[in-house]
Amino acid sequence: MARRIAAGAAYGGGSIGLLGAAAVGVLLAEVQLAKRQVGGGIAPVPPSADGRYGVAFAGPADPLRLGLLGDSTAAGQGVRRAGQTPGALLASGLAAVSERPVDLRNVAQPGARSDDLERQVSLLLADTSCTPDVCVIMIGANDVTHRIPATRSVRCLTTAVRRLRTAGAEVVVGTCPDLGTIEPVYQPLRWLARRVSRQLAAAQTIGSVEQGGRTVSLGDLLGPEFEANPRELFGPDNYHPSAEGYATAAMAVLPTLCAVLGLWPESDRLDGARREDMLPVAEAASQAAMEAGTEVTAARAPWALLKHRRRRRLPAATEPDPHPTTHGEAPPEAPPEALGEPQGDSHEVAHHEEAPKEQYGESHGESHNLPAN
């Protein structure tokens, strides 16, 4: 894996040409050191999180349908419980905000690159009676490590976004994570990995926004968190996120996921105090790649909105109901956490504004209050 990161960084960024022979020697030594450690543990097979969330909200309205596509990050590799996966966390949060059940279908594939999105989109759209209302795509890390040209990666992603939008689904893309945060990767390999990851994330943002999707930067969101708490936010293989790492990513994506459906209490009006702005798409994409949890959404061409949405706590991790009730039937007795209310250990994030307490709860302080494994 470390060898692929180095090769991908050099290939994508053209950076090896700038290095002297001594620097190349240092880089190769770093590769040898890192590859002994990255992936040295065992990442559990991702648990299936497909099913219905928020069953206690069953009523006259049909459940919302959420689709998840992408690689091992979207699949939730590295955790053992379905309720700890990004799909389950997002579905639970969406059910709590919308006060409607949410049916989750996750077609993400560990190891997938952007060219696998064509297959995944076809799986989601095969049944026209169950077209998702909204889809979340998390992709990019394997494109970097396998030296896929950024132009090819972005072309595959934009095609996927366009197909989903044409089918009537809203789309949120979590852009390429920052591979420079992997703990055993040191300088200068870390710098190269970070540079290429950000370049791909910016290109993904431009392509996705042009097709009518919204993006959320994952790289800079997780970077400081992973660097500060690598033992807590990385899984046993030192590569995939832990349950706390996935919760951090889900907290960043949930506000945009709800906003694209018109469910978030904040409007798209810009807030200058939060350094939000309307910028050319390319400039907005570049800034988003370097700013934690930044959302980019289309405005009047060629402009885009750069937003830093306030985040709320996630509901407690819940398992899906694999046998959802038929529309119109009374739901079974559900535990309190199925309502989407934070129970017991809940994930909190800083920078909260006033919100309806009975729906979101409140948290304070400047750091994440995440439960230990």
Q: Is 352 tagged catalytic?
A: no
Among 276, 315, 314, which residue's Cα sits nearest to residue 296? 276
Tell me how far apart the alpha carbons of residues 127 and 136 are, in angstroms, rounded to a whole number: 18
Q: Is 237 tagged catalytic?
A: yes
**Terminal CA-CA length for the chain:** 26
Point out the catalytic residue in the list 71, 72, 103, 143: 72
Q: What is the DSSP string of 31-96?
A: HHHHHTTTT-S-PPPPPP--EEE-GGG-SSSPPEEEEEEESHHHHTTT-SSGGGSHHHHHHHHHHH
Among 241, 211, 194, which residue's Cα sits nearest to residue 117? 211
Point out the catalytic residue in the list 237, 271, 351, 352: 237
Q: Which residue has the tokens 């979340």?
A: 136
Q: Which residue has the tokens 């948290």?
A: 363
Other CB atoms within a 10 A radius of the CB of residue 62 amount to 11
CA angle 91-96-98, nearest 5°? 90
Tell me how far apart the alpha carbons of residues 36 and 231 are, in angstroms, rounded to a whole number: 17
Q: Is 116 tagged catalytic?
A: no
CA atoms within 13 A on the CB side of 180: 21
Point out the catalytic residue in the list 71, 240, 321, 347: 240
Omega of the bond leading into 302 within 30 degrees of 0 (cis): yes
Alpha helices in the chain (DSSP H): 2-13, 21-35, 72-75, 86-98, 117-125, 141-145, 150-166, 189-210, 219-228, 230-233, 243-259, 281-288
Other CB atoms within a 10 A radius of the CB of residue 33 amount to 15
Other CB atoms within a 10 A radius of the CB of residue 126 amount to 9
Tell me how far apart the alpha carbons of residues 65 and 94 are, in angstroms, rounded to a whole number: 10
Q: Would you name the residues annotated as active-site residues?
A: 72, 237, 240
